[in-house]
């Protein structure tokens, strides 16, 4: 379940990546007091960040699809089944991108702490995929 929560957070983040450039730039001013975030950004290669951006686009689509299914599901058991199916699809999308789930989640956390890294990934997500 922790894996699902992390992926859902990443999915929400990825949806935000696709649609909130202005918000990211506003938060850049507020988060500029976090110098340790710069060190975290160095831990990820451009290739890893591109894979994250590509997987995030897939996860955003999966998340949107399953959010509607979750809202339509009746009862806890049906909702849990939808969550599990969504989780499986998200994990598959991450793994198909060439990243491990833990790496994907780590990049997602670093992006939340580093507005410059977020902007780099946003730019990668908006560029045509090279794969």
Domain count, the chain: 1
Between 23 and 89, the more confident residue is 89
Look up the domain containing 98 and give its range. Answer: 47-122
User: Is the residue at 8 inside a domain?
Assistant: no
Predicted confidence at residue 129, as pLDDT, reads 57
Task: Decide: 95 and 101 in contact? Cβ < 8 Å.
Answer: yes
Q: Is the pLDDT of residue 18 over 60?
A: no
By mean pLDDT, which of 3-17, 66-80, 106-120 is the weakest? 3-17
Helix axes 101-113, 76-97, angle to 10 degrees: 90
Task: Decide: 107 and 53 in contact? Cβ < 8 Å.
Answer: no
pLDDT bracket for residue 30 (50, 70, 90): very low
Predicted confidence at residue 51, as pLDDT, reads 95
User: Is the residue at 80 inside a domain?
Assistant: yes
User: Is the residue at 6 inside a domain?
Assistant: no
Nearest to 39 by CA among 119, 122, 113: 113
- The half-sphere exposure of 46 on its side-chain side, counting CA atoms within 13 A, is 4
CA dist., res. 75 & res. 52, Å (int): 34
Q: What is the pLDDT of residues 79-109, one digit of tens each?
A: 999 999 999 999 999 999 999 999 999 999 9
Predicted confidence at residue 121, as pLDDT, reads 93
User: Is the residue at 82 inside a domain?
Assistant: yes
């Amino acid at each position: 379940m922790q894996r699902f929560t992390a992926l859902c957070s990443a999915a929400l983040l990825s949806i935000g990546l696709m649609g909130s450039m202005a918000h990211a730039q506003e938060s850049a001013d507020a988060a500029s007091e976090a110098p340790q975030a710069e060190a975290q950004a160095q831990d990820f290669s451009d290739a890893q960040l591109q894979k994250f951006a590509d997987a995030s686009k897939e996860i955003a689509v999966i998340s949107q699809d399953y959010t509607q299914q979750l809202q339509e599901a009746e009862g806890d058991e049906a909702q849990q089944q939808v969550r599990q199916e969504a989780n499986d699809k998200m994990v598959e999308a991450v793994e198909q991108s060439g990243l491990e789930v833990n790496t994907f989640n780590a990049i997602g956390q670093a992006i939340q702490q580093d507005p410059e890294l977020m902007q780099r990934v946003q730019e990668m997500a908006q560029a045509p995929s090279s794969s």
